[in-house]
Amino acid sequence: MRQRQPRVHDDGHLDFIRSLPCVMCGNDTATEAAHLRVGSLRYGKKPTGMQQKSDDKWALPLCGRCHRQQHEGNELEFWLNQGVNPFVLAMSLHNATGDHEAAMEVLKEQARHVFA
């Protein structure tokens, strides 16, 4: 039986995610780092069980209201209903960590898809 790998923490990345506006509604007053629980073999993201958080690289910027909605039902449907591929977005934001301008470009591109 394989041991579960410990969660990879990245406080700098979480602080960076919290500095961005909510990817769903654009609220930029109280952004939270929302960890993806759903998994995807295609993107190398393992599913996360209850009472567990995924590695910090899988966090996305959501306001409190949108963060609660993320976890209320089917998480993947929450993202896909808004036209968001959360895996690609999380990887893109992780690659942009520390570069606020690049992250805002990623979010602008995402908004074009969400609100098109």
Q: Compare 21 and 52 and report the one with higher pLDDT.
A: 21
Q: Would you give the end-to-end CA distance of the chain in angstroms?
A: 47
Amino acid at 91: M
DSSP conformational letter for 14: H
The Cα–Cα gap between 95 and 107 comes to: 13
Contact between 74 and 36 (Cβ < 8 Å): no
On the question of pLDDT at 27 being above 70, the answer is: yes
Mean pLDDT of 85-89: 95
pTM: 0.87
pLDDT (0 to 100) of residue 1: 47
- The percent of residues in the chain predicted with pLDDT above 70, rounded, is 91
